[in-house]
Amino acid sequence: MTTYSKEFKAEAIRLSDEIGNKKAAAQLGIPYYTLADWRNKSKHKPKETVVMSEEELRIRNSELERENAELREANNILKDALGFFAKDRKK
């Protein structure tokens, strides 16, 4: 049984993204199903979790609160405009 390095597997997956599984497997001299298995495993890996410090969380939270307030204000302006145009249309 042949063992492949992580780098080789990663390059094989990149190549298969570009030219397809069958062509990449043939070009690299590996079985098609081996490459297909590598692709499936790489797609189903859990994503790395980003850890933020408390200060970064506070900053991000304040940014989101500010954005939320701006969006509420814009939403209220749009509601007022809709009401204005709805009254005008009834005339």
Q: How many CB atoms lie within 10 A of CB 70?
A: 10
What are the two backbone dihedrals, phi and then psi, of residue 60, each rounded to the nearest 5 degrees? -65, -40
- Model pLDDT, residue 87: 77
Q: Say if 1 falls within a structural domain.
A: no
Q: Say if 25 falls within a structural domain.
A: yes
pTM: 0.48
Asked if 9 contacts 38 with a C-beta cutoff of 8 angstroms, the reply is yes
Confidence of residue 57 (pLDDT cuts 50, 70, 90): very high
- Model pLDDT, residue 90: 62
Cα–Cα distance between 35 and 53 in angstroms, integer?
Answer: 39
Residue-range definition of the domain harbouring residue 13: 6-43
pLDDT digits (tens, 9 = 90+) for 12-32: 999 999 999 999 999 999 999
Q: Count of domains in the chain?
A: 2
Are residue 57 and residue 91 in the same domain, yes or no? Answer: yes
Cα–Cα distance between 71 and 46 in angstroms, integer?
Answer: 33
pLDDT digits (tens, 9 = 90+) for 39-54: 999 887 776 777 889 9
